[in-house]
Amino acid sequence: MSKRKTDRLLHLVVCLLATRRYLSAAQIRQAVPGYPESDEAFKRMFERDKEELRELGIPLEVGAEDGDELGYRIPRQEYELPDLHLSPDEAAVLGLAARVWQRASLAEAASGALLKLRAAGVETDDAAPLGIEPRVDTDEPSFPALWQAVRDRNPVAFTYHGVGSTGAARRRLEPWGVVSRYGRWYVVGYDRDRAGRRVFRLSRITGDVVADGPAGSVTVPEGVDVRAIAFDWGEAPAEPRSATVRLGKGAAQGLRSWARNLRDDGPDWDLAELSFRETERFAQYLARFADHVVVLDPPDLREAVIQQLKRALT
Amino acid sequence: MTGTSTERLARLLALVPYVMNRPSVAVDQAAGVFGVSEKQLIDDLNLLWCVELRAPDPYCPIDLSYEGGEIIVSEAESISRPLRLQVDEASALLVALRMLADIPGLRDRDALSRVIAKLEKAAGDATSAAGRLSVQVDGGGDMTTLVRQALDLGRRVHLTYYVQGRDENTERDVDPMRLLLVEGQAYLEGWCRRAEGVRLFRLDRIADLKILDVAARVPAEAEPRDVEVGLFQPSPQDVRVTIELAPRGRWVADRYPCESVEELGEGRLRVVLRTRDTRWLRALGLRLGDQGRVTGPPALVAEIHADAERALALYGSP
């Protein structure tokens, strides 16, 4: 069954590539073996075949010679992979890039691409160029659907539970791009309900991502840089301020690496300056160093740390 | 791709140019490259050889043989070139290449930019979507160059390494094995002579690295870590820690690998983590404040209280 179908599709491709003129469905039916007798059945099968060729990325051109009925052909120009001459080091790098993706969708796409490039004569071996073994994991369950939506410019809807909210909410998004930074995945786009740009972290999406409109209906605005949007945290944070802190001798290494003006302050302590922007956030960060850090100044930061520590006792 | 018949068609369309673009291809070699059995490959070749268009005049466009195990395609005009790249295919390669090009200190960096340019040209329209998928990694900055040097020279290194969980700088000699990029971070994998085991060192936590005048000697029993199963591999001896999180503390579930995550209603969560060393969880307990609290095991809860009390005492606060 499947062999007959492959055989028919192969004939169809060869036939449509070989022709310069558009071939009508009737002509195709004569040239390609394996189509059924009944007109109705032929029509249905031919429709499915065309769809399968398109899914493989085979460009099917529809047109007509003067006065003729509508026909089909595959333009060679658009079918063929252009010549690609790679030096051995370039081929090795390409081979490495094809092994980066670890899971389904893109891993399959990468090996499919590599096969075509090999077919074009590129020799990739198992050499390890660059001196690094890179891997990118796309194990977020929502990744395949979101990438597909971005690729096909398809609006989507999903359920999202953001940090700080008391419940999950349905979100409708025109997705512009999928971005990963330091192993975390985000989708960027236009939120239809909030009427503005939004960024969603994939790990906070629950359940399925579903289409919410036709493919091709998302327009990514001119000049949009999805990477820049994903990591633009909105309003500019407050002006930096300086804090004076005591650091336990030999302790608080995580602060010492960026502290300024580190100096001695008796047998048990050092003094240092740290710069910060948001008092609350910085107090949370400092609290984790427990009794290895004491804030001397400014008073509001000192008070915030005291409050933060007290919360751990309640 | 839907079903096996389209997959097979894709293979057939690549097989012909693969053979034509090489002086000589053996059946077993081609089977290996295309990931199928020799029997399957011969089946494929027969299918190609039998292509016959019936109209207007009967005609066989493909002529090939595989006598003696060597494949020869003598005629295949229409499918002699591979099909161009699909959007997914071009994107998968380009996004990976661009990610690698952002990492400083690698070998063959000029080959990377050349291959990106050539691929963009060859893939044409299929490249447009690749700009809408981006992977940014912390390649380790200047440290990558140093680590690469040590690996190329095959020399032992001395590391000052910051262990975040304990808030300590540690000193150790390491015999480098390889440079890895996993979960968006660059790591040096090596034989740690202090721990006498294989360890991963995140490049952004290496405070200092000196290349020693000693050849690296990685013991034969040193097994590279299987990063396939994830960087964090819990062991049965680990402590199970329970944390209850307010809505604002939900980020904890994103940041750390949790054994279980349970919704408690109103946006609150209960997560269970496994850890060998609870010191970082004491720090997390203080950092969370009203975003959440560690609720077990009791010994850890008591430690967090004691930490907070000692710290508050320094402020003259009860």
CB atoms A113 and B133 under 8 Å: no
Residues of B in contact with A131 (CB under 8 A): 106-107, 148, 151-152, 179
- The ranges of chain A with pLDDT < 70 are 1, 104, 126-127, 233-237
Cα B224 from Cα A135, distance rounded (Å): 15
**Do A74 and A60 touch, CB atoms closer than 8 A?**
yes
Residue B295 forms part of a structural domain: yes
Q: What is the structure's pLDDT at B104?
A: 80
On whether residue B139 sits in a domain, the answer given is no
* Same domain flag for B49 and B72: yes
Query: Could you tell me if B212 and B193 lie in one domain?
Result: yes
Contacts of B275 (CB under 8 A, 6+ apart): B238, B239, B241, B281
| Residue B119 main-chain phi, psi, to 5 deg | -70, -40
Distance CA A62, CA A74 (A): 9
For residue range A60-110, what is the model confidence (pLDDT) as tens digits? 999 987 777 889 999 999 999 998 889 988 998 998 898 899 876 799 899
User: Within this chain, do residues B125 and B177 fall inside the same structural domain, yes or no?
Assistant: no
Q: Which residues contact B269 (CB under 8 A, 6 or more apart)?
A: B244, B245, B249, B250, B252, B253, B261, B262, B263
Q: Answer whether A2 sits within 8 Å of B34, measured CB to CB.
A: no
Under-50 pLDDT residues of chain B: 1-3
What is the predicted pLDDT for the residue at A235? 65
Any domain includes B142: no
Q: Say if B217 falls within a structural domain.
A: yes
Q: What is the pLDDT of residue B214?
A: 94
Residue B137 is assigned to a structural domain of this protein: no
Same domain, B196 and B268: no
pLDDT of B246: 93
Taking only residues 228 to 267 of chain B, the set having a beta carbon closer than 8 angstroms to any beta carbon of chain A reads 228, 247-251, 253-254, 266-267
Cα B89 to chain centroid distance, Å, stands at 18
Q: Alpha carbon of A268 to those of A7, A27, B225, B297: distances in Å?
A: 82, 93, 41, 32
Q: Alpha carbon of B17 to those of A68, A90, A118, A150, A302: distances in Å?
A: 34, 20, 9, 32, 72
Say which CATH number the domain at B224 has.
2.30.30
Looking at the domain assignment, is residue B234 inside a domain? no
Question: Are B290 and B247 part of one and the same domain?
Answer: yes
Which of A31, A226, A307 lies at the smallest CB-CB distance from B132? A226
Q: Are A291 and A267 in contact (CB under 8 A)?
A: no
- At B187-236, the pLDDT tens digits run 999 999 998 989 999 999 999 999 999 999 998 888 887 776 667 777 77
C-beta separation of A197 from A190 below 8 A: yes
Domain assignment present for residue B64? The answer is yes
How far A154 CA sits from the closest chain B CA (Å)? Answer: 13
Domain-embedded: residue B266? yes
The minimal CB distance from A86 to the residues B118, B135, B183 is found for B118
Q: What is the DSSP string of chain A?
A: -HHHHHHHHHHHHHHHHH-SSPEEHHHHHHHSTT--SSHHHHHHHHHHHHHHHHHTT---EEE--TTPPPEEE--HHHHBPPP----HHHHHHHHHHHT-B-SHHHHHHHHHHHHHHHHTT----S---TT-EE-B----TTHHHHHHHHHHT--EEEEE--TT-SS-EEEEEEEEEEEEETTEEEEEEEETTTTEEEEEEGGGEEEEEEE-S-TT---PPTT--HHHHHT--SSPPPPPEEEEEEEETT--HHHHTT-EEEEEETTTEEEEEEEES-HHHHHHHHHTTGGGEEEEE-HHHHHHHHHHHHHTT-
CATH number at residue B47: 1.10.10.10
Q: What is the pLDDT of residue B230?
A: 67
Cross-chain residue pair B17–A227, CB shorter than 8 Å = no
Note the pLDDT of residue B1: 38
Q: Which domain holds residue B99?
A: 87-132
Residue that finishes a domain, picked among B60, B79, B98 = B79
Domain boundary among B186, B211, B229: B229
Q: Total domain count for chain B?
A: 4
CA B258 to chain centre: 20
The dihedral over CA atoms of B99, B104, B108, B114, expressed in degrees to the nearest 10, equals: 50
Structure tokens given for B246: 């307010």
